[in-house]
Structure 1
C-alpha cells in the first residue's frame, strides 16, 4: 500500500456557480488508524446536493467549509485494519469518508453493511442516506393517504425517484417534475409515476394544472424557486409540504422564494423542513422496508457512476445541473480488487 493517497479539497469559496478552480486534487499522507477505530478503503463516494451550500461562508446547520478543507461526503468501503471486533478486516462499512481514497473512522460512527440487502453501492444510495431521506420525509412528514395527489420535484434524482415510488405503493396519484423528455420518460415508464412534467417546457404551468385536477395534498420539495412557487399555488386544504432541498438556489445569490405565504393559512397547510441525520433511529427500519420493496419489484433505482476520485468535481457539478439519472456516485476503487 502506498504511503500517499488522493484527496479532493475545496480550493476557495465559489462565486455562485461552481467551477473546476473551486476544487483541488492533492496528494496527502495515508491516515493513521486511531485506537479503537478502523482504517477503510473507500469504494464508492456519494455525491449529494447538501454539500454545495456548505461551500458558502454562511450560517447553516453544519459548519461551512474553508479553503483547504477536505470535501465532505458519505462513502462505503472495505475495512483494512480494525480495533473493533464488530467490524473485522474485510467487512464493508458506510460512513463519512469524505472525498478521499482512505479514511480513519470511528467504529461507533459507521454502520456495517449487510451485503444481503443489495449491491455495496446501494449503501450510499437507495439503501443509504438518500433512501432514508425519501422514506422518512414522505412517510413521517408527508403522511400520504390513499387517493392523495403527491408532487415530487427533481423526480429522477436519488431522493425524488424513491419518494414517488413509495407514494405509489401507498396508493397515491404521483406527479413528478424533472428536466427533459428523457428523464420524464424514465420517471413514468420505469418508475411508474402517473405523470411527469419537464420544468423547461414553456407551458409548464398549464400542464401542471392539467396534471393536478384535484390539487396537491403532499409536495416533496427538492428544488425550490419558481417550481416550488407553482406547486404552492395548488395546495389542497391541510396539505403537507416537505422541504428536503432547494437545488435550484444553491448557485444563486438569492435564497428567497416568491410564493404567497398566506396561501398556507388559507389552506391550513403545513410546511416542514428536515435534516435526515437528526433521525438516525429511522434508518434501519427504512432500509429493511425499501430492500423488501426492491425484492418484490415495487421499487427500482439507477446509479450514475463516475470513475476515479479525480472525476468527483466534474461529476458533482454535473449533478447540480441535472446531468445525472438516479444516484450520482464515484467509483473510487474496485470492490473486487
Structure 2
C-alpha cells in the first residue's frame, strides 16, 4: 500500500495535475467574481437587509459537496475528446450569458429584485468557462449538479417558498431539501444508498433547523438558510464516506488524478476574460424607488378611514397576503356609499358606491 501511494504521489508531481486543475478553477472563479461584481454586491446588500436571496451564496457550497462525492466514485472513461466542439459550445454559452445580462435583463427591469436573471447568467458563464477550460464531456459528467442552480433560480425559489407559507422556516427547509439532493448526488453509488442519504439528510436537517429557529428566533435569515443545510450535507456525506472507506485508507484521492483532457490555450483564457469584461460593464437595472405622494399615513387600524359624506356598507378581510408579504400582512376591502346623491356622478340621483 505504501509503495502504491508513493507511485501515485510521483505521478502527480511529475504531471503537475493538481496545479493545473487549481489554476484553471482559480481563473474561472476570478473571472466570475469580476464579471458579476455588481451582482454580488447587490445580492449581499439584500442579504444583509434580511431578504431570502442569500441562499445564492450557499448553493455553490452545496454543489461543491455533490461534485466531490461524484468525483470520488467516477470510473474509467474512454479518451474521447473533440476540442473544436468544446470551443464552439463554450463560446456559444458565453454569448448566451451575455445575452441574458445585456438583452433579457433590461426587459424585466421592474422585476429585477424578484427574478435576478443575472444570477442565472452567472451560472451559465461558469458552465461555459468550464467547458472551454476542461472540455464538454468532462463538464457534463456532472450534469445533475449543473442543473440544480438553474431549477432553483431566485424566482423559482421564492415562488416555492411562498407556496409553502413564506416563513423563515419555509425558506430554510427548502434549502435543507436542496442539501439533501446534493448529498444524494454525492453518495448515490446505488439507488438504495441515494434514497437512504436523502431521507437521513432531510430528517437531520429539519430537526437541526427547527432547533435553530426555536433557540435563536432572531438569527439572520442567511445563517438559518446556510448552516443547517450545509452542516447536514457535510455530516451525512462524511458518514457515508467513512462507511465506504471502513478498513481502507481515509485519504480521498488515493488513486491517480485524471489529467485535464484539454490543453488551455491563451485564446481560451482571453475569450473567458473578454466576456468577463463585457459582463462587468453591462449595467444592472436601477433599484431606486420613485416616491409618489400617496394617501395619509397608516394608522393602527389597517382599514381606510371613511371620509365625510360617506358611510360604510360592507367590509371583507383576506389572509392570502400573509403568504407573500409576511405573517403580519393584512388586506381589507371596504364598500362605502355616499350619503347624498350627486347629479354630477349620476343623472338619476342614485347613491354612489366606492370600494377601497
Higher strand proportion: 1
TM-score normalised per structure 2? 0.19
TM-score normalised per structure 1? 0.20
Larger Rg computed on CA atoms: 2
Higher helix proportion: 2
